[in-house]
A and B are shown apart, each in its own frame.
Chain A
Amino acid sequence: MNAPAYNFAYLDEQTKRMIRRAILKAIAIPGYQVPFASREMPMPYGWGTGGVQVTAAILGPRDVLKVIDQGSDDTTNAISIRKFFAKTAGVATTTATGEATVIQTRHRIPETALNENQLLVYQVPIPEPLRFLEPRETETRRMHALAEYGLMHVKLYEDIARFGHIATAYAYPVKVNARYVMDPSPTPKFDNPKMDNCPALQLFGAGREKRIYAIPPYTEVVSLDFEDHPFEPYRFNAPCALCGAEDSYLDEIVTDDQGGRMFVCSDTDYCEGRQAAGHHGSLSAAPYREKAGSHG
């Protein structure tokens, strides 16, 4: 009579086993999209139903969970998912990248380097990188099977023809393990180099599209490009206004209607960690000090 209302981590054990089988297959074939029987979750599609199912399937009682939404730990989506697992699985949660063992993310990879004991779960809206060029699923599957990826370069060609450079700024296609072309989910292309040779296991879940794919630890991930237009990560040319970081991905925040704006780290945990360590930016509460030796 005292049975808990939910199984550990919400999903029933059979469903978790099914998802784990898909995950194992995905790890065995890096970058290949494995179909799985995606379940209805108590949240709308587009809010991370795929990521949540992957997290539910891999979560153990001793795991420490961190959830990021656009780099931030304190947005609605991140807080809701963190609470969801705190309630249904009773796991510890954290906002510190270094303490987490499982990190579910939407649109960002943490700035702090990941380690071998960590697992990164991406929420993916559209897993098929060829989708907007080839609408037929039968055809895109065949193209993956035969490694016919000329079409992916057609997209990059179009970018250069129209804008003079590769204007794709997020969901920038990558080739995994020199075989499958993969959509890295809508992360900024700034994050693409972090996927290459990463010590952490990276799992991708697309709930609506019912696909799981993976990048095993220490796998080669190459961003596609042209010889004469090589891949370049993009970053606003400014230090973070709060922590002064010059190497992190920045959000642009409009502060008034007079053209005022500030650039701050999109990774809130990274930014707070730097501020706690005494780094300051031009707009942080503590007085701004020029770094010794830097010009004014």
Chain B
Amino acid sequence: MVDQGSANLDTLENDQPLLVAQSLSKSFGRIAACRDVSFALYPGEVLAIVGESGSGKSTLLQMLSGQLAPSGGHVSYRMRDGVTRDLTTLGEAERRFLFRTDWGFVHQDPAQGLRMAVSAGANVGERLMAVGWNHYGRIRETASDWLTRVEIDVARIDDAPRTYSGGMRQRLQIARNLVTEPRLVFMDEPTGGLDVSVQARLLDLVRSLVAELHLAVIIVTHDLAVARLLSHRVMVMKGGRVIETGLTDQVLDDPREPYTQLLVSSILPP
């Protein structure tokens, strides 16, 4: 028997969107990088933003994660205390705190998301120390636990990530982001630059972690295979606009817009 009270609470939790974008726009001078983008993201949902380079995906991701101020529109986020706040009204301290606790950001280039000169253990532990953990033994224990979860040999906990392979670096970056148990993770081309077999293992790992931790993910990719494997929903962007959106299977199996059809048909058949 499921406890009725907590089940109700859970449904209520999941019924409200975690992040809402309302007619987001960004222009750099005369260039409109992003025009009128609106959507809602629910807890545990994986949304893929696909499109060719220059279509405004990365600009959108930066606005959603509060790193870039939009020229128009709003992003609101439901905080851990249940209050929905407009990101632009958050102070810098609050935004940075959100960024290292309730959010994660996985960069395409692990060197941007990791401290390459300090050990893997310290990389994973940094967020914990930033929120006030002050016990070396416990920090190290949690770090080794996370290294195991992302399939990195614990014996390498004291090695700097610059001695790691590309795939290991990316997995370490994921561990570093997930250690504070965030509810929302942004990923910018997480599999870019990895060879196909490593990509497959990484996607597998991400997929199981997402399910296990009930993570909401916004993933930017130009690789439709990544979108198909990971995401529940897809947004197709072109020229700064969202031209098509829907369930992943629906969009990829039965694309409506000519551009989406082109994207889908440009994948080599297996």
Q: Which A residues fall within an 8 A CB radius of B?
A: 133, 142, 146, 148, 150-151, 153-154, 157-158, 160-162, 226-229
Q: Tell me whether B96 and A226 are in contact (CB under 8 A).
A: no
Our pick among A146, A150, A162, A228 for the contact of B93 (Cβ within 8 Å) is A146
* Nearest A residue (CB) for B123: A154
Instruction: Say whether B96 contacts A153, CB under 8 Å.
Output: no
Asked whether, in the complex, the Cβ of B137 is within 8 Å of the Cβ of A157, the reply is no
- Find out whether the CB atom of A158 lies under 8 angstroms from the CB atom of B118: yes
State in angstroms the CA–CA spacing of A142 and B95 once bound together: 13
Chain B positions 111-132 with a Cβ under 8 Å from a chain A Cβ = 115, 118-119, 121-122, 125-131
Q: Are A226 and B134 in contact (CB under 8 A)?
A: yes
> Of B93, B96, B122, B131, which is within 8 A of A157 by CB?
B122
User: Which chain A residue shows the least CB distance to B134?
Assistant: A227
Q: Would you give 23 A-B contacts (Cβ < 8 Å), ordered by A? A: A146-B93, A146-B96, A148-B130, A150-B127, A150-B129, A150-B130, A151-B126, A151-B129, A154-B115, A154-B125, A157-B119, A157-B129, A157-B139, A158-B118, A158-B119, A158-B122, A161-B119, A161-B140, A226-B135, A227-B134, A228-B135, A228-B136, A228-B137
B136 touches A157 (CB 8 A): yes
Which residues from chain B sit less than 8 Å from chain A, CB to CB? 92-93, 96, 115, 118-119, 121-122, 125-131, 134-137, 139-140, 157-158
User: Quick one: given A154-B125, A158-B122, A162-B158, are A148 and B136 in contact (CB under 8 Å)?
Assistant: no
- A150: contacting residue among B119, B131, B137, CB under 8 A: B131
Assess the B92–A153 pair: CB atoms within 8 A: no
Please name the 6 residue pairs, one residue from A and one from B, whose CB atoms are nearest each other, closest first. A150-B130, A153-B129, A150-B129, A226-B136, A227-B135, A146-B93
Chain A nearest CB, measured from B70 CB (Å): 22
Report B-chain residues with C-beta under 8 Å of the C-beta of A150: 126-131
A161 CB contacts on chain B under 8 angstroms: 119, 121-122, 140, 157-158
Residues of A within 8 A of B140 (CB): 157, 161
In whole angstroms, how far apart are the Cα atoms of A146 and B91 in the complex? 11
Measured CB to CB, the closest approach of chain B to A228, in angstroms, equals: 5
Query: How many angstroms from the CA of A161 to the CA of B140 in the assembled complex?
Result: 9
Chain B nearest CB from A235 CB (Å) reads: 23
Q: How far is the CB of B113 from chain A (nearest CB, A)?
A: 15
- A154 touching B158 in the complex, CB below 8 Å, given contacts A146-B93, A148-B96, A228-B135: no
Nearest-neighbour CB distance to chain A for B144, whole angstroms, equals: 11
**What chain A residues lie within 8 Å of B122 (beta carbons)?**
154, 157-158, 161
Residue of B nearest to A226 (CB): B136
Residues of chain B within 8 A of A227, CB atoms compared: 134-136
Cα distance, A160 to B131, chains bound together (Å) = 20
Name the B residues within 8 Å of A157 (CB-CB).
119, 121-122, 125, 129, 136, 139-140
A162, chain B: closest CB distance, angstroms: 7
Residues from chain B with Cβ under 8 Å of A229 in the complex: 136
Measured between beta carbons, the chain A residues less than 8 angstroms from B127 are 150
How far, in whole Å, are A150 and B119 apart by their CA atoms in the complex?
15
Question: Across the interface, do A154 and B118 meet the contact criterion of CB distance under 8 Å?
Answer: yes
A129 to B126, CA, bound (A): 17
Partner of A154, one of B92, B126, B135, B157: B126
In the complex, what distance in Å separates the CA atom of A113 from the CA atom of B265? Answer: 81
A255 vs B78: C-alpha distance when bound (angstroms): 69
A133 to B119, CA, bound (A): 12
Q: How far is the CA of A151 from the CA of B136 in the complex (A)?
A: 14
Task: Give the Cβ gap from B182 to chain A, nearest Cβ, in Å.
Answer: 16
Contacts of B157 in A (CB 8 A): 161
Residues of chain B contacted by A162 (CB below 8 angstroms): 119, 158
Report the separation of the CA atoms of residues A161 and B134 in the bound assembly, to the nearest whole angstrom. Answer: 15
Once the chains are docked, how many angstroms separate the CA of A119 from the CA of B140?
42
A151: chain B residues within 8 A (beta carbon)? 126, 129-130
A-B contacts besides A158-B118, A162-B158, 9 pairs, CB < 8 Å: A133-B115, A146-B93, A150-B126, A150-B130, A154-B115, A154-B122, A157-B119, A161-B140, A227-B135
Question: A130 CB to closest chain B CB, in angstroms?
Answer: 12
Q: How far is the CA of A30 from the CA of B70 in the complex (A)?
A: 38
What residues on A are CB-neighbors of B93 within 8 Å?
A: 146
A153 (CB) vs chain B CBs: closest residue? B129
Q: Which residue of B lies closest to A225 (CB)?
A: B134
CB distance from A227 to the nearest CB of B (A): 5
Contacts of A154 in B (CB 8 A): 115, 118, 122, 125-126, 129
Task: List residues of chain A with CB within 8 A of the CB of B126.
Answer: 150-151, 154
Cβ contacts under 8 Å, B125 to chain A: 154, 157
- Bound complex: CA A161 to CA B118 (Å): 10
Least CB distance, B154 to chain A, in whole angstroms: 13
Residues of A within 8 A of B136 (CB): 157, 160, 226-229
How far apart are the CA atoms of A142 and B125 in the complex, in Å? 21
Cα separation A135 to B157 with both chains bound (whole Å): 24
Chain B residues with CB under 8 Å of A142's CB are 92
Distance to closest chain B CB from A276 (angstroms): 46
Closest chain A residue, CB of each to CB of B160: A158
Of B93, B115, B122, B125, most A-chain CB atoms within 10 Å: B122
Residue of A nearest to B121 (CB): A161
